[in-house]
Structure 1
């Protein structure tokens, strides 16, 4: 190699080293906030899996796009006013005194949850006070789906006291929780703050339907979780509940499609838990675009009010059109749609 060749090689090496040094400085100085390592490791009776996942995922919408809103309580709440989305601080401000506190057991540790008097809410609140959980087999099922895919987020339609939302947020995922009843939201807000989960959960303070309107909420005696929309035409629900009177709440409905325009919404892949007391067909009819634009991997929904009638036919057609199959929770054998009148209380719809 002559002197000119040696000089050329030396120059090339020098330039390469300088580029590498500058690149190193750039990556060292990158804001940590744009990266989030999602690491999970669990093993206990409620979530009997052990797995560690390390994956770099984008920073989440409630930590970034909501920063322009001044949520004085710390809890992110939005409400659709039949025209557009608005931040709503009122529902989480000035909470009633002496709310009853219980504990929710999750795979990633216990978290506080505020409940109703068990004598007035015998199912959900009663179970939480007695055993620190509610429907653990379904919590396990939802967590199992999230565990398989670190990019999945969680949407809770009919959040009630927030059992599923709190558990999935504790798991480390972003949650959108839809709940219309104020006495539930008071407790849910308190639970989010007490559990330090304000950056994980966004509340939507509306009922969902296929049109935007004002509605009243009916009382299911001793079962706050059985609250339903009064103009619900699902007589299976009305006849199967101890209905009596109405809550004072007059709430506005939104469409599932409206969540696509929720400030900061950027979920690409989700699983959904839907418990809307016989109103499922209306929710789905108002979510056609949502299912077209978001990769909904699975939907866990209550079926007990849909075993007969036109609503069941609408729901079956909706999912069939999009290539979903129904399963008993925890089973890998699809249910027969011809026997939908005999399906279990809950079913999970999964993409084929």
Structure 2
């Protein structure tokens, strides 16, 4: 893979450089779901350097990566070319939000692969070091519904989503009302780190439950809905009722 230096990107690139892998349990869980139907499309929202997307594509599944960073996308493109899997890979270079608006994108200067929307994102902002911010102002956001116009989604194929947007998930979900009505989404893998506070999680849970999604751990064996949110893992999967675990 093409990465940043450990000084530029201490968490993501640093971990891959030191260990040679990135979230292997999550990668396996995603591939386990995709293995049920090889025609599924994997949509990686906030995909960053594309570690998960690369794993998925190398196993033969089609991939759509969505990320707002030019330098992340350049590295992802170089990685898929190096691995000989350029075909069936699509990219959207954009942040997503609840509506078409201009947003401020932010990253800490030693976590350069992890750009996030600062607007209406108080928990993530509170847990980062604003004195080390690199910022991009007035970036035009698209919505999840806008993805419906892509040729890759001009079919009735099943979808698997991954959201890693640092606490901005509910805004992205709200921009996908038509997306959720039209498309068959079997599973949504979600970084729960910045959604775990009950002040922010309730709207996500309501949005997902109304659409017949239920939360599970990455082994797909433990339903989380009966457990206190303090016991939910940092990464979880929302399984649709039509998908049998």
TM-score (normalizing by structure 2): 0.91
| Residue 235 (1) aligns with residue 122 (2) | yes
Partner residue, 1:311: 200
Partner residue, 1:170: 58
> Hey, what's the Cα distance between the residues in 1 that align with 2:50 and 2:183?
23
> Hey, what's the Cα distance between the residues in 2 that align with 1:118 and 1:338?
37
Equivalent of residue 154 in structure 1, options 35, 42, 56: 42
Partner residue, 1:295: 184
| Residue 187 (1) aligns with residue 91 (2) | no
Question: Where do 5+ consecutive residues of structure 1 fail to align?
Answer: 1-112
| Residue 117 (1) aligns with residue 19 (2) | no
> Hey, what's the Cα distance between the residues in 2 that align with 1:242 and 1:226?
13
Q: How far does the alpha carbon of each residue in 1:163-183 deviate from its partner, in whole angstroms, 9 at most, with x for none?
A: 011111111111111000122
SS at match of 1:218: strand
Partner residue, 2:166: 277
Larger radius of gyration: 1
Shift of 1:187: 1.0
Shift of 1:320: 0.7
Equivalent of residue 200 in structure 1, options 88, 92, 101: 88
Number of aligned residues: 239
> Hey, what's the Cα distance between the residues in 2 that align with 1:238 and 1:185?
24
SS at match of 2:151: coil
> Hey, what's the Cα distance between the residues in 2 that align with 1:250 and 1:195?
35
Partner residue, 1:263: 151
Is the 8 Å Cα contact of residues 221 and 242 (structure 1) preserved in structure 2? no
Per the alignment, do residues 129 and 249 of structure 1 end up closer, same or farther by CA in structure 2, a change over 3 Å counting?
Answer: farther
Q: How far does the alpha carbon of each residue in 1:173-223 deviate from its partner, in whole angstroms, 9 at most, with x for none?
A: 111110001221121122122222221210001101111122221123422
Question: Where do 5+ consecutive residues of structure 2 fail to align?
Answer: none
> Hey, what's the Cα distance between the residues in 1 that align with 2:3 and 2:137?
19
SS at match of 2:153: coil
Is the 8 Å Cα contact of residues 62 and 89 (structure 2) preserved in structure 1? yes
Is the 8 Å Cα contact of residues 44 and 162 (structure 2) preserved in structure 1? yes
> Hey, what's the Cα distance between the residues in 1 that align with 2:215 and 2:37?
20
Q: CA RMSD in A?
A: 1.8
> Hey, what's the Cα distance between the residues in 2 that align with 1:305 and 1:332?
23
The residue correspondences of 1:1-352 to structure 2 (distance < 5 A) are: 113-231=1-119, 233-243=120-130, 244-248=132-136, 250-267=138-155, 268-336=157-225, 339-352=228-241
Q: How far does the alpha carbon of each residue in 1:86-138 deviate from its partner, in whole angstroms, 9 at most, with x for none?
A: xxxxxxxxxxxxxxxxxxxxxxxxxxx11011122122111221222100010
> Hey, what's the Cα distance between the residues in 2 that align with 1:251 and 1:196?
32
> Hey, what's the Cα distance between the residues in 2 that align with 1:338 and 1:288?
28
Which of 1 and 2 has higher RCO (CA within 8 Å, sep 6+)?
A: 2
SS at match of 2:15: helix
